[in-house]
Amino acid sequence: MSPIEKQRGGSETMSELRTHAEEIAEQFSDHLEITVDDVESQLENLVTQYKVPANEARRSVINNYLDEAGLDRDEISQGGASEILVNDIDEDEQWVDLTVKLVDLWEPGSDAISQVGLIGDESGTIKFVSFATSELPKLEEGAVYKLGNVVTDEYQGNYSVKLNRTTTITELDEEIEVGDNSASVEGALVDIQSGSGLIKRCPQEECTRVLQNGRCSEHGSVDGEFDLRIKAVLDDGVTVHEIIFNRERTEELTGLTLEEAKTMAMDALDTSVVADEIRGDLLGRYYRVTGPTYGRYILANEFEQLGAPADLESILIKARSM
């Protein structure tokens, strides 16, 4: 809140204009031959001669330069891109700098995409996309890069980063041990969400979307394939975590196999009996779950049920000392 408040007052000091000018010059440094002094004098003209508030002046100057460079607003950084770890990305449309290793390149799904794949640092991995129109050099698998000015993107709780025309790519001569975004959480299993139990997935190659009433959101009415999974909520009294158990983990956790689940559903003429059975088995009990994070979910790789507390003594000591 404070920067905006500050700039509302009419009397902008010269040093603040200078800061704006430096930021703007930096934003356009790859596109236009402009100096900080050029920018500053334009800002100053608007602010002192024409009594335009500094924010408006900044906006207007940036728009002029955008026109001059033939760029769209979202092709330049909004200033203040910061170095961040990929697993800390939790907001859409943030401009960030990353130091990452290219882990995996995927087949681009369209001509508009130059490269798509997975990049990672010690905190974990994230999807990246580089568009053909950005005309960036191609990245190589296994190489480590400093990527300046990439923008974050969010889709259904999952984050990716987009490279763009202003992105700077510097290959670094160093090695990164890429992490697996792994998290370990404990808590009571307080909810099993819809879409759990016996589900049907779209059989189209590479689709695997979960069908709603026999329909895939992409491929329409299809003859789905049965699968088992659990979307659960673990709650430790302070925070909640959403967990996905895939078929193997669901079978392990519930002792119910996919074949048994299908038989149950057929006998009942209703697939929801499977989720009901699972609810009775799992709700209200404590678990520890470990696995990679995927958007807002943790994919359960390992889990265990937690019984009676182990360190009663330490809690008692604390309670008595209060």
Partner 1 sequence: MSSNQSSDSVPTREVARRVFAREFNDASYTFKESDDERAPLYLLLPTGERANRVLVVGTLTETEDVGDESEYWRGRIVDPTGTFFVYAGQYQPEAANTLRDLETPAYVSIVGKPRTYETDDGTVNVSLRPESITAVDAGTRDRWVAETAQQTLERIQHLDDEGNEYGRMAKEQYDLPPDEYRTTALSALESLDESDSSPDTPTQSTESVSDPQ
Contacts with partner 1 by CB under 8 A lie at: 1, 91-92, 157, 188, 190-191, 233, 235, 237-240, 253-255, 276, 279-281, 283-286, 296, 303-309, 312, 315-316, 318-320, 322
- Under DSSP, the state recorded for 137 is P
What is the signed CA dihedral for 22, 24, 30, 34, rounded to 10 degrees?
-70
Q: In angstroms, what is the minimal distance from the CB of 264 to partner 1?
A: 14
Residues 6+ apart with CB under 8 A from 265: 198, 271, 273, 274
Closest to partner 1 by CB, 164 or 254: 254
Task: Supply the DSSP string of 172-239, one letter for each residue.
Answer: ES--------EEEEEEEEEEE-TT-EEEEE--STTT-PBPBTTEETTTEE---EEEEEEEEEEE-SS-
Q: How many angstroms separate the Cα of 67 from the Cα of each of 33, 72, 76, 88?
A: 14, 8, 12, 34
Which residue stretches of 28-147 are H helix? 36-44, 54-69
Structure tokens belonging to residue 41: 């004098």
For the CB of residue 155, give the shortest distance to partner 1 in the complex, in Å: 13
Q: Which two tokens stand for residue 13?
A: 């000091």
Rg (CA), the chain: 26
CB of 7 to partner 1, least distance (A): 14
φ, ψ dihedrals at 13, nearest 5°: -75, 160
Q: Which of 217/314 has CB closer to partner 1? A: 314
Nearest distance, CB of residue 22 and partner 1, angstroms: 21
Task: Rank residues 226 and 286 by Cβ distance to partner 1 and give the closer one.
Answer: 286
Q: At its nearest, how many Å lie between partner 1 and the CB of residue 317?
A: 10
Please state the closest distance from residue 316 (CB atom) to partner 1, in A. Answer: 5
Nearer to partner 1, 202 or 275 (CB): 275
> Considering beta carbons, is residue 218 or 304 the nearer one to partner 1?
304
Q: What is the DSSP-derived secondary structure letter of residue 136?
A: P
Give me the least distance between CB of 206 and partner 1, in Å please: 27
β-bridge mates for residue 200, sequence order? 226
At its nearest, how many Å lie between partner 1 and the CB of residue 227? 20
Nearer to partner 1, 69 or 190 (CB): 190
Question: CA dihedral in degrees (69, 70, 73, 75; nearest 10)?
Answer: -80
Measured from the CB atom, the residue of 27 and 99 that comes closer to partner 1 is 27
Of the two residues 26 and 251, which places its CB atom closer to partner 1 in the complex? 251
DSSP class per residue in 108-124: -SSTTEEEEEEEEETTE
